[in-house]
Structure 1
């Protein structure tokens, strides 16, 4: 007697006929002539075989599930580490970038040097690592052109916004991220949202309007760039979610960083930004800018890895809440360590944006569980 094949073993059987319902099969071709006086003996299954079959029956080894290998779920410690790392490095990158831009306002040159550092770091890791290597060549840009385009657009928009607004107002200026995400999901993905989650979206919009309307210390261009960067970040988040599950993380970071470094350097030269920097800055500014840029580049390298990892191991609910939490901590950090002033309108704006984002994500999670 042969036991039932285990999970994933059907593909190895080739064209053999397998009786999936019964363990025993008696072929009529092997039956002797009934007129004969000989007897037919059918041996009964042994006790050990019966126990084996009982264990197999309790295990989900059907052919319908054999083609879908089980993916190990991340532990709570891994999820916590991914979220905490993403929040920490995002705050560090924002604060350090703002300090660098306060020394020399050259967003394109700063991004070009940062991304070149990231590409070199990934290449160095592949060189010293025996368990990881590059799988996608730089020629994969045609396959990843949409991903690269929206990432460049999103990061450049955020950096220009940061160059015109203080860190304590940065979260408010980009407060329309959630409404834009909902709108794009409806227009592009045809995903509808019920009334209760939209209350949270309304609170987010109210926080943005309240924070912007009574703001007297930020130029209009900073607010406009905040709205634009919210829109581009919404598109960027959709693209990253799509590509991060199809391609290796380090390959995506390396290809994106390489092309963005060259693109931003080209824009810096063609827009005369680099020429203006060379003519106007002195040695002390260059030295200070270089030190801050080195620290921000290291933080940006780890931020890329932490962001891709968080998107892989967390749900959209956790990601949205972590983004809102990061904005609040970022604002408090700017007040405590950068000496920025937290005006009343900024306090109300941040509170409403955080509360609305949390309410929306929790309401969506309740809907998701209710539909299961």
Structure 2
């Protein structure tokens, strides 16, 4: 009884930790992006802060990342994973900058269909009919939110949301190879992703022309320095904690519980968007969110059922009795002849 109660408390604490961390990440990101024009540099500071915290945690033996070193084979092995991680996070930040916090989940609503598609194309994983149904529900939610909602939504924000969904799906598909490089350690994967992604992101900050805006913010010539610094500290720390929370959430909870907690996070994000930023929640937008979350939960349940189903018993073709008797008779006769 005591062990059961301890386990439930552990699961509740882990899920709550994940929910709070994920919600804080989205809300603070939106708060900073509303007053700054440097989404890539903002992402860079988040990654660097997370790297520093990982290093400190590893040094102080609070956490253990077995492969904390960086060498050429690791960089080569994680190249595709890191590139897709940068593209996913960058397009996600741009999407959040251009759309409401309450609409952000709709803008990135095609993650599930893209994940199933990329798994089929890249991993040859053939989806079942019920999986396709769940993807259809999610896709219908996306189209309702984009095309039927009466509130004006930035087309650029939607485009970045679609791009982010695709990059996230591709990232999930190639991450399996990345885990082979880091020997299956989730914390090691998070450490390398943050470190290598921050290095890769640096030249793009210059290429996309954020350099002058960064100098203006840091020198105080532009507004938003305090918001940027506070937001970077919070999101960098939360991003570090979220890496641990996500690993713990997947480890101690079932996939269904994890997906339901993600659904609760999505609903809470929409409500907080209305409360904190004055977002508008129309009936079409609410319907879109319900369909996307409902389809995602249904998908997780189907995957759980399919993964736990026992394989069907092996079927044998019936053998005619006369053949069976003839065979036994012949063998029996041969055996009798061979006996002295």
TM above 0.5: yes
1:173 equivalent to 2:107? Answer yes
Task: Tell me if the contact between 2:96 and 2:104 (Cα under 8 Å) persists in the aligned partners.
Answer: yes
Is 1:207 matched with 2:141? yes
Q: For structure 1, which runs of at least 5 residues remain unmatched after alignment?
A: 1-73
Structure-to-structure mapping, 1:208-247, within 5 angstroms: 208-215=142-149, 216-240=151-175, 243-244=178-179, 246-247=183-184
Distance 1:143 1:242 in 2: 8
1:114 and 1:299 map into 2 onto residues whose CA distance is 9
- The offset of 1:155, in angstroms, is 1.3
8 Å Cα contact 2:27-2:101 kept in structure 1: yes
Which of 228, 241, 249 aligns to 1:302? It is 241
Aligned position for 1:122: 54
Q: Say whether residues 1:263 and 2:195 are aligned partners.
A: no
Change (3 A) 1:130 1:355: closer
TM (norm. structure 2) is 0.79
Whether contact under 8 Å (1:244, 1:312) holds in the other structure is no
Larger RCO, structure (CA 8 Å, separation 6 or more): 2
> How many Å apart are 1:314 and its aligned residue?
4.5
Q: Contact between 1:116 and 1:261, CA under 8 Å: does it hold in 2?
A: yes
> Is it true that 1:192 corresponds to 2:126 in the alignment?
yes
- Cα deviation code 1:68-112 (max 9, x no counterpart): xxxxxx955444443332222111111101111111121110011
How far residue 179 of structure 1 moved from its aligned partner, in angstroms, is: 0.9
Is the alpha carbon distance of 1:205 and 1:314 closer, same or farther for their aligned partners in structure 2, counting shifts above 3 Å? same
What SS class does the counterpart of residue 103 from structure 1 fall into? coil
Map residues 8-23 of structure 1 onto 2, 5 A cutoff: none
Per the TM alignment, residue 341 of structure 1 is displaced from its structure 2 partner at its CA by 1.4
Question: Aligned runs of 1:6-155 on 2, under 5 Å?
Answer: 75-129=7-61, 132=64, 135-139=67-71, 140-155=74-89
Q: CA deviation at 1:235?
A: 1.9
Distance of 1:243 and 1:77 partners within structure 2: 33
Greater helix share, 1 or 2?
2
Residues 32 and 228, structure 2, Cα contact 8 Å, conserved in 1: yes
Q: Is the 8 A contact 2:255 2:304 kept in 1?
A: no
TM-superposed CA distance for 1:170, in Å, is: 0.5
How far has the Cα of 1:242 moved from its partner?
A: 5.4
Aligned to 1:361: 300
Q: Which residue of 1 aligns with 2:325?
A: none
Q: Secondary structure at the match of 2:103?
A: helix
User: C-alpha displacement at 1:212, in angstroms?
Assistant: 0.4
Does structure 1 conserve the Cα–Cα contact (< 8 Å) formed by 2:50 and 2:194? yes
Find the aligned partners of 1:351 and 1:130 in 2 and give their Cα distance. Answer: 40
Query: Is contact 1:201–1:356 with CA below 8 Å preserved after alignment?
Result: yes
Aligned twin of 2:228: 289
CA deviations on 1:225-281 (whole Å, 9 max, x unpaired) are 111111111122334455457243333222222222222222112322121343476
Per-residue CA deviations over 1:159-185 (Å, capped at 9, x if unaligned) read 111111111000111111111111112
Task: Please report the RMSD computed on the Cα atoms of aligned residues, expressed in angstroms.
Answer: 2.5
Could you say if the C-alpha distance between residues 184 and 133 of structure 1 is closer, same or farther in structure 2, counting changes exceeding 3 Å?
closer
CA 91–239 in structure 1, closer or farther in 2 if over 3 Å, else same: farther
Distance 1:203 1:131 in 2: 40
